[in-house]
């Protein structure tokens, strides 16, 4: 495996020890994706030589990362970044933190502050603030069962750190008492572009604001699909047919029209079984990909989604505003 190069630094003037400095820099590199699961860290002797540290210091740092579940250490092989839940959680925490810190760094530098003094003062100032409330932000996600609602739940939880409850529009039977009860236990109501008007109309009766977020797909996927031969028989599959239609519409909007498209849902197994025999390619949302990959490993490809940048920023702003309110309460 090719070794990646990273610039780590040690500052003897900082008031916390070099062990913590190096460990936290490595956690940042993992958290923002510059080091990924499967990558090998430098050997203890190599890193010790580069930073002019004792080898035992680097061993301590790596052992701490191992105890936090971020790496594995194997004699004769080295130290490797894991793909476990601890790494996933670190990434979920550090990416929104990175954006906030980048903005702060730019503003502090523009105002002429010495950054080291600024952040030491900031750490001290944080100790003067009252503690955060124990409770998490309670978020109601309004969606339907046909779309990839697990994706939205995961992304909202990642961006806000909140607790997510899902209300499925296709299961509401006009019982206002049920909706009112759900609203009362929710701090924020979020829906997707797929159901923006429907959700707004529903919650307008209760004078409740609905925040709308959207998702998109990566450009490399569009390029891959655009290269498929004319009349290739392609299916877009989600939990329901409506989700598959959303996926196919992203392809049509990109001007890709040389393919024969099918939109399918995992909730219609009979239709799935009838159609799959004639398909050349199956693009599956994350919610159904593992199952379809087992059934049709050679045809099935993941259809990766991501939040639109504006939606990502909106969710982070909600989380930040809630944190500020919590400090003031």
pLDDT value, residue 322: 67
Stronger pLDDT, 327 or 161, i.e. the higher one: 161
Query: Residue 1: its pLDDT value, please?
Result: 46
> Considering the chain, what is the average pLDDT of its residues?
86
**Range 1-102: architecture per CATH:** Orthogonal Bundle (1.10)
Domain assignments of the chain as residue spans, ordered by start: 1-102, 138-214+309-328, 219-303
Per-residue confidence (pLDDT) for residue 279, from 0 to 100: 92
Instruction: For 203-240, write each residue's pLDDT tens digit.
Output: 988 888 999 999 999 888 899 999 999 999 999 999 99
In terms of pLDDT, which residue wins out, 263 or 89? 263
* Helix or strand holding residue 65 (H, E): helix 55-67
pLDDT tens digits along 260-270:
999 999 888 88
Alpha carbon distance 137, 323 (integer Å): 9
Most distant CA atoms of the chain, gap in Å: 69
Contact yes or no for 318/211 (Cβ under 8 A)? yes
- Give the CATH fold of the 219-303 domain: Rossmann fold (3.40.50)
Report the SS3 class of residue 113: coil
DSSP per-residue string spanning 133-198: PSSPPEEEEEE-TTS-HHHHHHHHHHHH--EEEEEEGGG--S-HHHHHHHHHT-SEEEEEGGGHHH
Amino acid 18: pLDDT? 82
Q: Is the pLDDT of residue 173 over 80?
A: no
Which pairs from 175-182 meet CB under 8 Å and 24+ separation?
A: 176/205, 176/206, 179/203, 179/206, 180/206, 182/140
pLDDT surpasses 60 at 81: yes
Structure tokens that stand for 287 in this block: 């919610």
Read off the pLDDT of residues 4-55 as tens digits, 9 standing for 90 and up.
Answer: 556 666 555 555 678 888 899 999 999 998 999 989 999 999 999 998 888 8
Q: Can 1-102 and 219-303 be said to share one CATH topology?
A: no
Supply 250's token pair.
Answer: 């992203």
- 30's enclosing H/E stretch is helix 18-31
Q: Is the pTM of this model over 0.75?
A: no
- Confidence at residue 328, expressed as pLDDT on a 0 to 100 scale: 47
Using the predicted structure, report yes or no on whether residue 90 has a pLDDT greater than 50. Answer: yes
Average pLDDT over residues 95-113: 88
Can you give 34-53 as a three-state secondary structure string? CCCCCCECCCHHHHHHHHCC
61, 64, 70, 73 alpha-carbon torsion, rounded to 10°: 70
- What is the reported pLDDT for 320? 80
Using alpha carbons, select from 56, 81, 54 the residue that is nearest to residue 68.
Answer: 81
Q: Tell me which CATH code domain 138-214+309-328 carries.
A: 3.40.50
* Mean pLDDT along residues 76-80: 88
Instruction: Give the per-residue pLDDT at 4.
Output: 59
Catalogue the E-assigned strands of the chain.
Answer: 71-74, 78-81, 138-143, 163-168, 188-192, 211-213, 215-217, 233-238, 260-265, 281-284, 300-302, 305-307
29 closest CA partner among 78, 105, 94, 106: 94
pLDDT, tens only, 246-289: 999 999 999 999 999 999 998 888 888 888 888 999 999 999 99
């Amino acid at each position: 495996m090719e070794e990646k190069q990273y610039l780590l630094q040690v500052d003897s003037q900082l008031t916390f020890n070099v062990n913590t400095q190096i460990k936290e820099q490595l956690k940042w590199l993992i958290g923002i994706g510059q080091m990924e699961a499967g990558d090998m860290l430098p050997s203890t002797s190599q890193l010790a030589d580069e930073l002019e540290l004792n080898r035992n210091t680097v061993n301590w740092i790596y052992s701490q990362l191992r105890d936090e579940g971020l790496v594995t250490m194997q004699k004769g092989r080295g130290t490797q970044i894991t793909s476990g839940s601890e790494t996933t959680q670190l990434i979920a925490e550090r990416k929104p933190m990175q954006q906030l810190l980048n903005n702060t760094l730019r503003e502090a530098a523009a105002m002429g502050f010495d950054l080291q003094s600024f952040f030491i003062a900031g750490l001290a100032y944080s100790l003067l603030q009252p503690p955060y409330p124990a409770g998490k932000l309670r978020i109601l996600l309004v969606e339907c069962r046909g779309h990839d609602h697990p994706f939205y739940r995961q992304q909202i939880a990642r961006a806000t750190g909140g607790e997510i409850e899902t209300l499925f529009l296709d299961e509401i039977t006009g019982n206002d008492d049920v909706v009112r009860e759900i609203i009362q236990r929710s701090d924020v109501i979020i829906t997707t572009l797929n159901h923006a008007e429907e959700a707004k109309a529903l919650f307008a009766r209760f004078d409740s604001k609905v925040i709308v977020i959207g998702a998109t797909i990566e450009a490399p996927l569009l390029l891959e699909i655009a290269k498929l031969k004319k009349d290739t028989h392609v299916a877009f599959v989600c939990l329901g047919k409506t989700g598959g239609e959303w996926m196919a519409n992203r392809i049509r909007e990109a001007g890709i029209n040389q393919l024969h498209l099918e939109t399918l849902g995992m909730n219609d197994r009979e239709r799935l079984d009838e159609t799959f025999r004639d398909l050349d390619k199956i693009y599956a949302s994350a919610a159904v990909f593992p199952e379809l990959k087992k059934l049709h490993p050679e045809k099935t490809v993941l259809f990766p989604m991501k939040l639109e940048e504006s939606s990502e920023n909106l969710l982070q702003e909600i989380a930040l505003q809630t944190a500020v309110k919590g400090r003031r309460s």
